Amino acid sequence: MKLNTKNVVMGLIAPVALLGMLVSNPALAREPYDKAELADMQKQLLESVNQGYELWHGSKATTTTLGLACGNCHPDAAGTNPQTFPKFQADLGKVAPLRDMINWCISVVQGGEALDIDGPDMIAMEAYAFNMHRGQKIELGLQTRQTPPDLVKDGRGYPWKGSGVGYDKGSKAYPVPGHHQK
Ligand code: HEC
């Protein structure tokens, strides 16, 4: 960038303007979140993860006409590789985010009705898949599947317990203790 008067003036104004925004906008400058607020945020996230767990196991009938749910082929979200998205998906013929592939499996593989791409159900599906891959290395755009889908059982969903196949290793199966540990 050429050093002209305009750039120098902008360089001086921008930080001052930013500081002004921080001070005048309560959303940007506020007290650190307290424990209760942080706990509430975490609770809301886990609620979404749990909603995703339900959907993963066929709680929404419109997402399948075959009697199969995600959990039958992707137990504990195995083989979905959320940490590798966005990436080129041959099935879609383009670089796609995870949610497009979720809807692809719903409509093509399960013969169901795709989810609203920005709706709370889709967000919950993503929350669940990412939560199960917590700690995995992000390998954006990885082209090949790292782990193939792994059919566990016919029928909707799979037994309501950790299968041991995915990243939860069947131990602390669900994020909210006591939830769905049937
Ligand atoms: C009948 C088995 C089956 C079911 C049920 C199923 N899938 Fe899949 N899924 C597959 C197969 C097979 C692929 C690989 C497709 C390919 O690579 O062309 C796949 C691929 C994916 C991928 C892309 C993974 C990657 O790294 O490319 C995602 C994400 C995914 N499925 C999510 C889901 C979700 C969410 C559901 C439930 C709504 C679901 N799948 C239901 C078999 C299934």
Measured from CB, residues less than 6 Å from any atom of ligand 1 are 63, 68, 70, 72-74, 80-81, 84, 91, 98, 101-102, 105-106, 109-110, 125, 145, 149
pLDDT at 13: 72
Give the distance from CA 99 to its chain's centroid.
Answer: 8
pLDDT score, position 10: 66
- For a ligand 1 pocket test, name from 53, 63, 68, 80 the mutation site with the most ligand atoms within 8 angstroms of its C-beta: 80
Sign of CA dihedral 166, 170, 171, 173: positive
pTM for the predicted model, two decimal places? 0.78
Q: Which SS3 state, helix, strand or coil, does residue 52 take?
A: helix
Helix (H, G, I), strand (E, B) or coil at 54: helix
Q: What are phi and psi of 96, to 5 degrees?
A: -135, 150
Q: Considering only CA atoms, which residue is closest to atom 35 of ligand 1?
A: 102
Mean pLDDT per block of 10 residues along the chain (182 residues) reads 65 67 67 95 93 90 88 86 91 93 94 97 96 88 67 59 42 36 33
Fold (topology level) of 35-182: Cytochrome Bc1 Complex; Chain D, domain 2 (1.10.760)
Q: Which residue is associated with the tokens 């199966």?
A: 173
Q: How many CA atoms lie within 13 A of 177 on its CB side?
A: 0
Please report, for the chain, the start and end positions of each structural domain, with discontinuous segments joined by +: 1-30, 35-182
